Amino acid sequence: MKARFIGLALAALGVASCAPMAQGGSNGHGKDVPAARPMGTAQSCIPIAQISESRVRDDWTIDFRMAGRKWYRNTLPYRCNSLGFERAFSYSTSLSQLCSTDIITVIQSNSPQMMRGSCGLGQFQPVELVK
């Protein structure tokens, strides 16, 4: 029974980290997120082996640069609190692809626990970043 309660509490904490902030707080959208022009149909997954870089833009947006300099923008369906501030995340998957069904966890740089909340990914939209 105790293990079940702890599991439920951790699940609630993870969901709360992706919930909108109270009125009066920041909405998590960055002012310096580069514009992106869609270049085709969004995809559910991208191959992990081809990811050469990820750039966290704000609490809602991560750009992935692939081999061959192709970019995919992932706009999270829900805000991932502190993602834009920490600009670091981890993920775990048993597949060779990162998918919209996967969960990322924000890594807190100056905390003994090192992990913050966990949030779901969105679709991977191929884009051209507008400079």
pLDDT for 117: 83
Q: Which residues contact 80 (CB under 8 A, 6 or more apart)?
A: 17, 18, 28, 59, 60, 104, 106, 117, 119
* Residues 62, 98: Cα–Cα separation, whole Å: 13
H/E element, 16: helix 2-17
pTM, rounded to two decimals: 0.77
* Residues 119, 131: Cα–Cα separation, whole Å: 28
- What Rg value do the Cα atoms of the chain yield, rounded? 16
What does the H/E/C string look like for 61-126? EEEEEECCCCEEEEECCCCCCCHHHHCCEEECCCCCEEECCCEEEEECCCCCCCEEEEEECCCEEE
Quick check: 39 and 128 in contact, CB under 8 A? yes
H/E element, 26: none
pLDDT digits (tens, 9 = 90+) for 9-24: 333 344 444 444 433 3
pLDDT for 131: 76
Residues in the chain predicted with pLDDT less than 70, given as ranges, are 1-25, 111-116
- Torsion angle (degrees, nearest 10) of CA 56, 94, 77, 29: -10
pLDDT for 114: 64
